[in-house]
Structure 1
């Protein structure tokens, strides 16, 4: 099924890009979600509406988890589930940046099997299906195989560098960079542009599901902050942070972090 789900997600991403780009160019309304959950725009909702109208019709037996849809426990009883972020990086979208993405995935029994991350204004389409490798605009991509953490460049927000998170009271010696979209960060690691990615906050599944597969198919991998492989379609729709990269860098990062129980 991954081979047939990927074209479905790819087509949905291209249509999403057309919808979102239209709002981006002509202006849009935005407002803050309750409880400090971040901004949402007309574009997020328009993309989500298109997804709700097309994807369940194509896969009527699949569950549904989207940032912009009310969650339902029904998905927990489904083997397959769509995990969707209509626009990842909405704040960047509202600020006029080009660094926002559509992040779409299908998971089967907790493991992502098909995934797309699409940045329409940068013309970047990252894709993967289980066992079929990862691509950027149709060309194969591979994750970095850097062996030493002190030679690595890691995508990480500044709060992750606080000493309270690390066994030695300070982070290891690596170069830190940052990009606003979590999905895009994972895609850049899969592409080999960066050696790893780190976020220590509890992370929503729709932000990371697509990147998890794309990175695994590019020869890297993702775990939570304790080094446990990620599984999806959880009741909370969250995982306990993300540590991503090649095997050596990822193991050194998780080994340096304080375990969380």
Structure 2
């Protein structure tokens, strides 16, 4: 697939999500609880089904890995693969906060073709191929999954934020509104991988499980620790922040 085709596929999925926003909001308070105590709403299931149908129409036969339907051990054929978190930050979403997002990535034979981060209620998105004017920040974003390393680092940095949504964090570090995003406890590929790929595209330094990330596909059955730094020095006129 050429970049234009990939962007058309991703844009089509984003348009579907935005068009279905009224139906998504109607399902916001329809909440059940997973075995680990985390919430899932009828909106999560609605959006996953919507995007899955989009995939089936445009990429028949593609493997589909969605947070709400994936089961460890599901066979992946090795052709086109779509990775989706329909609502990242469900705790925010079902609490009435706007900081939640959709994470979508497309691969072929484990080669990355393109990714999308979408924040529907905030009206913001980032897609493979987008050209951005990066922000300049000293804010460090942290995961809301508590870890002793977060407490230690928050005591060392000047400005920090915990927002409860990986898509929000990844979107902001990729565009430079966060100088860094750190999740030392770990999250799944559907939470992280599309955003990691976009961060790499925007010139960020990306570490996964303590090693420099080379863009490889992350298997969906386990969690990964990430640390991402936006490289202000790579952008003309944006040197390192001081103070």
Compute the TM-score of the two structures, normalised by the length of structure 1: 0.76
Q: Which is richer in helix?
A: 1
Matched, 1:24 2:25: yes
1:26 Cα deviation after fit: 7.1
Q: Which residue of 1 aligns with 2:192?
A: 208
With 5-14 and 109-118 compared, the bigger mean Cα shift is at 109-118
Q: Which residue of 2 aligns with 1:231?
A: 216
Q: Cα–Cα, structure 1 residues 219 and 66, in superposed 2: closer, same or farther, change >3 Å?
A: same
1:176 Cα deviation after fit: 1.7
Specify which structure has the bigger relative contact order, considering alpha-carbon pairs within 8 angstroms and separated by 6 or more residues: 1
Q: Which residue of 2 aligns with 1:33?
A: 34
Cα distance in 2 for residues equivalent to 1:159 and 1:100: 15
Cα distance in 2 for residues equivalent to 1:26 and 1:45: 10
The answer to whether the Cα contact below 8 Å between 2:63 and 2:82 also exists between their aligned partners in 1 is yes
Matched, 1:69 2:55: no
Q: Cα–Cα, structure 1 residues 154 and 64, in superposed 2: closer, same or farther, change >3 Å?
A: same
The answer to whether the Cα contact below 8 Å between 1:143 and 1:219 also exists between their aligned partners in 2 is no
| CA offsets 1:147-176 (integer angstroms, 9 cap, x no match) | xxxxx42101476662xx49xx94383232
Gaps of 5+ in 1: 147-151, 250-261
1:239 Cα deviation after fit: 4.1
The answer to whether the Cα contact below 8 Å between 2:116 and 2:127 also exists between their aligned partners in 1 is yes
SS at match of 1:194: coil
RMSD: 2.8
Cα distance in 1 for residues equivalent to 2:175 and 2:188: 22
Matched, 1:198 2:182: yes
Compute the TM-score of the two structures, normalised by the length of structure 2: 0.82
The answer to whether the Cα contact below 8 Å between 1:65 and 1:82 also exists between their aligned partners in 2 is yes
The answer to whether the Cα contact below 8 Å between 2:189 and 2:224 also exists between their aligned partners in 1 is no
Matched, 1:173 2:174: no
Q: How does 1:83-98 map to 2 (within 5 A)?
A: 83-98=83-98
The answer to whether the Cα contact below 8 Å between 2:186 and 2:223 also exists between their aligned partners in 1 is yes
Gaps of 5+ in 2: 234-243
Q: How does 1:51-200 map to 2 (within 5 A)?
A: 51-71=51-71, 73-75=74-76, 77-128=77-128, 132=129, 134-135=130-131, 140-142=132-134, 152-157=138-143, 162=148, 165=149, 170-171=152-153, 173-174=156-157, 175-200=159-184
SS at match of 1:50: helix
Cα distance in 1 for residues equivalent to 2:64 and 2:113: 15
| CA offsets 1:122-160 (integer angstroms, 9 cap, x no match) | 1112111xxx4x34xxxx24475x8xxxxx421014766
4+ residue runs over 4 A deviation:
158-161
Q: Cα–Cα, structure 1 residues 204 and 21, in superposed 2: closer, same or farther, change >3 Å?
A: farther
SS at match of 1:64: strand
Q: Cα–Cα, structure 1 residues 141 and 55, in superposed 2: closer, same or farther, change >3 Å?
A: farther
